[in-house]
Structure 1
Amino acid sequence: MVAETREGAEPEWAAEPRRPARTEWVTFAARLVLAGVLFWAGWTKFTEPAPLQRQAVEAYELLPDALIGPVGHGLPVLEMVLALLLVLGFATRLSAVLAGVLMLVFIGGIASAWARGLTIDCGCFGGGGTVAAGETRYLQEILRDVGYLALAVWITVFAPGRLAVDRRLGL
């Protein structure tokens, strides 16, 4: 039997499932935490002198010289824009996917540096560059970023969460 609907109303099967309020608030909290981390990481790099931004990217020995400057300058801006979108809850799912991809890139970069025997500071929150062999923290950095990736996945699945512009726009 087909569910009857009123004129202009969505059929039951097409309606978005209702989520518990708790899930909506957890998503909101995840947005704020991930946004806070992204903004802090972006801001600390953005306010550094250009040579330090370049040094942090260059230390990974992954990019050609022509891309080191643009990545060093552009990455902090991207992180801060994603943070703003997540706080606002605007384009929430897309922002979370992009943040998740960014975390995968960071995890891959750190794992690559570790596997190649480089001794660098990740530069995730400013700084970066070569450090003494005993000063690397690759495993901790990877595990931290896996946690941020998990937040991005949660937000993607349960977007937009409470207090989101997307809700007002019906997205």
Structure 2
Amino acid sequence: MRPTWPWVATAARLLLGGVLVVAGALKVPDPAAAVRAVRAYRLLPEGLVGPVAFGLPVLEIAVGLALLAGVFVRTAALAAAALMVVFLVGVGSAWARGLQIDCGCFGGGGEVAAGRTAYPGEVARDVGLLLVALALARRPASRLALGGHSEEELAHVR
């Protein structure tokens, strides 16, 4: 492995963690919008809409903070990858069923006017973040991490 990988992994950690923290934090102030967004996908029974709408931002923030801090990086990266797969399934399902919704990925969400969806961009973004998460899960050693790796471990990944 190249000696630059720990710095690439650091950038990946900060990117992925930052996106997750921002996405979660933007949902927290407006729980009604989060409920609308989850309900718009028409995938969950009504009894699960509220818990998912309230729990998802907390999970995003927790995983994002772990990545930003550099603790439990492999576990957090795998959790982020799982979240991206769930998001891809949700958006892909809405797109395939012809639903006209805003994904609610960064707050808001719900029904939108015909032709105002952004499914291709949302899928591309989530696939890119999924690839980043998988790469980070495979090689989590990075710099500036509280979970840290000894210099010997970082030298070993070179």
Same fold (TM over 0.5): yes
1:165 aligned to which of 118, 125, 146: 146
Structure 1: gaps of 5 or more residues? 1-18
In structure 1, how many angstroms separate the alpha carbons of the residues matched to 2:138 and 2:108? 33
Match of residue 85 from structure 2: 104
- What is the alpha-carbon root mean square deviation over aligned residues? 1.3
What TM-score, normalized to structure 1?
0.85
Deviant stretches of 4+, over 6 Å:
none
How many residue pairs match? The answer is 151
Q: CA deviation at 1:113?
A: 0.2
Higher normalized contact order (CA 8 Å, seq sep 6+, divided by chain length): 2
1:65 aligned to which of 41, 46, 61: 46
Q: CA deviation at 1:168?
A: 5.1
Structure 2: gaps of 5 or more residues? 154-158
In structure 2, how many angstroms separate the alpha carbons of the residues matched to 1:116 and 1:81? 31
Identity %: 49
Q: CA deviation at 1:165?
A: 2.4
Match of residue 117 from structure 2: 136
What TM-score, normalized to structure 2?
0.91
**Match of 2:53, as an amino acid?**
G
In structure 2, how many angstroms separate the alpha carbons of the residues matched to 1:21 and 1:85? 24
Q: CA deviation at 1:159?
A: 0.4
In structure 1, how many angstroms separate the alpha carbons of the residues matched to 2:98 and 2:2? 47
Q: CA deviation at 1:163?
A: 1.6
1:77 aligned to which of 53, 58, 62: 58
**Could you tell me whether the CA contact under 8 Å between 2:142 and 2:149 is conserved in 1?**
no
What are the equivalent positions in structure 2 for 1:112-151 lying under 5 Å apart? 112-151=93-132
